[in-house]
Structure 1
Amino acid sequence: MVRVPNKPLLAALALAVDGVYGALVADLDDPASIKQAAAQVAEDLLSFYRGDEPGWVPGILPGPPPDGDYYWWQGGALWGTMLDYRHHTGDNTYDPIVLQAMIHQVGPNEDFMPPNWTASMGNDDQGFWGMSAMLATEVGFTDPGDDEPQWLALAQAVFNEQTHEDRRVASGRCEWGLRWQVYPSNTGYNYINTIANACYFNIAARLARYTDNQTYADYAVRTWDLVKDLGYISDDWDVYDGAHLPYCNDTNRAQFSYNAAMLLQGAAYLYNYTNGAEEWKVRIDGLIDRMIEVFFPGGVAYEPSCEGAKCNTDMKSFKGYMHRWMGNTMQLVPHTREKIYPVLKTSVANAVKQCSGGPNGRFCGFHWTTGVFDGEIGAGQQMNVLGALLSLLAPDSAPPLTNATGGTSRGDVNAGSDEPVLPTFATVTVADRAGAGILTALLIAGSLSAFAWMSID
């Protein structure tokens, strides 16, 4: 059964009154038609968002499970998609929603570490929000008020905190690797994965270009070298998922499109920053060739490590990021357009063809290779098709700004929390023990009373 969120249902009822139904249609040779289709997909995408309604939390999609399908990081990914939508189409309809959403999730230290999500925080989760703040900086999105955190400073805060030794491996073969999870109590703390390090690499590369600061570039290069030396990028340009401590030699060879695409985009920023350095050209060309082979069989986007079996909710959003970041690569590295654009166009054609489901007859599924709607809708599926459409507009859109080419966002090189990642506790005194004993006695008495009451029946 197709799961129908409240907003699409209401939209469908409104459409039924007008008698307007129909699959998504786009002439991929006409930018105006692409923009019109993108507007429809964006509208349907935001039908999954409830944060602008009373009683819901701004910034996040409903979740995490069991309260909804989505984890915190996908909110950051959503706003990155919508910022690209605004930039490539010129439609600023959703500016108030995007601004409210991103600011609401900043957290008290202005670093995208809100208390509600800190306990389950991954470095990649924080990284996705940091990349969206960086994108807001680069596309000239509305600057927050003077009393609010600024986009550039937020990206710098994420970079600074993830550079800190508390987030990294201290020694051994995996030395300086960024851990998947922030806290030792989280499953995955001993996993040094590509996506966390790729997020950091991506932000560092973009900060280097935006601020013209070589220090950021040096950290980006160090991260690339680490990922390559650990074998997460093979000699054939396959990009693997990661490996565990202590030796990082049990490589998980699953290949997900967003890992390769995030590295590709970061490399494109460094290519642009270095005025076309040959080493970055070689890396970009190698990644593109292999990505087309692995992730575009027959020219249509496919997620090989899960699509033949079952992809989870997170994985169902990866295709859209890949398309968007390959589109951005064409902006920054013009020679790649000849190779990338035809593949993306074929992929987008199939993506649009299967957008014929849901309550209004134009919602999109996840499987594109069949060209037929697969019966399940979701925010990830909509983000995928929106990102795909936008990728065809990217080459002719304005390139990302820098602070020398019109960027207005204010930065702070010292942004981020100066508190240690691992919590510290005050010394326990005799009075503390006495108070704890009294409290424990009261809790036990209360529990016994409750158990007695439940046993009466």
Structure 2
Amino acid sequence: MKPSSLTWLPTLWLALWWSHLSAGLELELQSDESLKKAASSAAWSMMSTYSANETDNPGKLEGTWWEAAGMFLHLIQYYHVTGDDTYNKDTTEGMQQQAGEDKDYRPKSELAWLGNDDQMFWGVAAITAAELKYPEDPKGASWLALAQAVFNTQKPAWDTGACGGGLRWQMHSVKPGYDLKNSISNGGLFQIAARLARYTSDEEYVEWAEKIWDWSVSVPLIDDKTWYITDSTSTKDGCKTAGREQWTYTYGTYLIGSAYMYNHTNDEKWLKRVNGLLDSTLEKFWPQQYFGYNPKGETLIEVGCEKPGNCDNNMKTYKGLLGSWLAFVARVVPTTRDRITPKLEGAARAAAKSCTGSKHDECGMRWYENKFDGNGGMEQDMSALSMFTANLMLRMDNDPVTSKTGGNSKSDKNAGMVKHDDDENDKLKPITAGDKAGAAIVTIVMCGGSLALAGWVFWGEFF
């Protein structure tokens, strides 16, 4: 065959490649089996690069510590809604290993650079395991005790010496960002306290959830009139001002905590907070328009970074966390279901279209493009997986359990009450943005001018 007769091959290959990118995962939203198949594909893709189970430190992802907590959280929910235990061994092994020597998610190998938000995510994964009756490890700490340990180790860090309370972002004073008190750290502890309150019926957790909420409203983290949540506030000016950055997971953590508090206390003030935060969340992150696109309120978007293309790996996980937490909100506060269900269905539909549908089943980030955007990775797979499992969770008959409704995870009220030798750590290694759950705050600290411009674009374009 003459070489010239092959000139059509590159064109054909390119056409096939683009067709492949546009294919997406097949998804029939009303079919549980279709959702399970999509979830299986996303989970497989997410775990295809996981190799920590082959090391002496299972559960530690390369370049990041906290993201593994998010990964395991999604796998716990995946097992709950599908019954597929393919990843249970890796999940249990990683969750127990990263709990560390004192079983409080402050392992000595990570403690030097740890932020309160990093540790918090492991506590959220643990309480999720307890509520969903994920199989306990007979050789390890109970899931409930691990969540209690995170609460107990963060409680002494409540800092009344600056701004009248609140957790600082960083655990150590020599770290950049120590002056910041951020929403995800405080909202995360609020969520853990609220979920522990419901699971155990222990009044101390109720009191702490109340305290954290009240403090968050007293500073510019939460505006309970506009239901606007900021990223962080600084002790340098007495927590009088805050940045205008908007992230899905900060709204999500205060929303799910409020939902659990309403479910547990039946106090109408918490229902008001649930409704206010939910309406604000759905309006902001399921926008009608976004940089020339018209998602018509049907697609979940990390509005602060997706179109500019500056979402780092941390930010790519945020909307998956929101999706997961919204499913829990709908379960524990049923009056929210009619508002949440169509949003999660739309997000799942868009997420499926973003996946290549190939053997690797890689999913993209910009779901509103209705195709794979070429920007795949573990974090994007996490978020897509969350949408599929969240929809399945809405259809299940059983709600998250408590100690009174079938929960069997053993309580240890004193878990984590061990003083670490380096609680006042002077032997600290440099922090990297990849290590931190609050990577957005790293950007705030280091690149204030750029964020000011980004904030102007953000607000001027779609608010």
Does the aligned pair in 2 maintain the 1:22–1:362 contact within 8 Å?
no
In the alignment, structure 2 segments of 5+ residues that lack a partner are 1-21, 288-295, 427-463
Q: Which residue of 2 aligns with 1:430?
A: none
Deviation, 1:26, is: 1.1
Does the aligned pair in 2 maintain the 1:23–1:361 contact within 8 Å?
no
Deviation, 1:239, is: 1.1
- CA offset digits 1:124-144 (Å, max 9, x no partner): 100000111111111111112
Q: Which residue of 2 aligns with 1:394?
A: 393
Structure 2 CA distance for aligned equivalents of residues 88 and 403 of structure 1: 21
Q: Does 1:102 align with 2:122?
A: no
Alignment of 1:146-157 (within 5 A): 147-157=139-149
Deviation, 1:248, is: 1.1
Scaled by the length of structure 2, what TM-score is found? 0.81
Q: Does 1:295 align with 2:289?
A: no
Q: Does 1:48 align with 2:40?
A: no
- Aligned residue identity for 2:123: G
Structure 2 CA distance for aligned equivalents of residues 345 and 116 of structure 1: 40
Q: Which residue of 1 aligns with 2:200?
A: 211
Does the aligned pair in 2 maintain the 1:168–1:175 contact within 8 Å?
no
Q: Which residue of 1 aligns with 2:190?
A: 201
2:231 pairs with 241, 246, 250, which one?
Answer: 241
Alignment of 1:119-198 (within 5 A): 119-145=112-138, 147-164=139-156, 167-172=157-162, 174-198=163-187
Partner SS for 1:125: helix
Runs of 4+ in 1 over 6 A off after TM superposition: none
Partner SS for 1:181: coil
- Aligned residue identity for 2:264: Y
Q: Does 1:265 align with 2:265?
A: no
Deviation, 1:31, is: 1.3
- Aligned residue identity for 1:232: L
State how many pairs are aligned. Answer: 391
Partner SS for 2:110: helix
Scaled by the length of structure 1, what TM-score is found? 0.83
Structure 1 CA distance for aligned equivalents of residues 34 and 102 of structure 2: 43
Does the aligned pair in 1 maintain the 2:168–2:178 contact within 8 Å?
yes
In the alignment, structure 1 segments of 5+ residues that lack a partner are 1-20, 65-70, 426-457
Does the aligned pair in 2 maintain the 1:330–1:394 contact within 8 Å?
no
Alignment of 1:327-366 (within 5 A): 327-356=327-356, 360=359, 362-366=361-365
Deviation, 1:93, is: 2.0
Does the aligned pair in 2 maintain the 1:258–1:321 contact within 8 Å?
yes
User: Per the alignment, do residues 41 and 226 of structure 1 end up closer, same or farther by CA in structure 2, a change over 3 Å counting?
Assistant: same
Q: Which residue of 2 aligns with 1:225?
A: 214
Q: Which residue of 1 aligns with 2:272?
A: 282
Structure 1 CA distance for aligned equivalents of residues 359 and 57 of structure 2: 26
- Aligned residue identity for 1:377: G
- CA offset digits 1:201-248 (Å, max 9, x no partner): 010001000001111011001101111111211221111101111311
Structure 1 CA distance for aligned equivalents of residues 425 and 89 of structure 2: 39
Q: Which residue of 2 aligns with 1:15?
A: none
Q: Identity over the aligned pairs, expressed in percent? A: 36
2:71 pairs with 78, 85, 90, which one?
Answer: 78
Deviation, 1:95, is: 1.3
Partner SS for 1:110: coil
- CA offset digits 1:421-448 (Å, max 9, x no partner): 63489xxxxxxxxxxxxxxxxxxxxxxx
Does the aligned pair in 1 maintain the 2:23–2:353 contact within 8 Å?
no
Deviation, 1:189, is: 1.2
Structure 1 CA distance for aligned equivalents of residues 186 and 208 of structure 2: 11
Partner SS for 2:181: strand
Structure 2 CA distance for aligned equivalents of residues 158 and 362 of structure 1: 35
Does the aligned pair in 2 maintain the 1:320–1:383 contact within 8 Å?
yes
Does the aligned pair in 2 maintain the 1:243–1:249 contact within 8 Å?
yes
Indicate the structure (1 or 2) with the bigger Cα radius of gyration.
1
Alignment RMSD: 1.7
Q: Which residue of 1 aligns with 2:244?
A: 253
Does the aligned pair in 1 maintain the 2:59–2:94 contact within 8 Å?
yes
Structure 2 CA distance for aligned equivalents of residues 262 and 194 of structure 1: 9
Deviation, 1:24, is: 1.2
- CA offset digits 1:125-166 (Å, max 9, x no partner): 000001111111111111122x522211111111011111xx
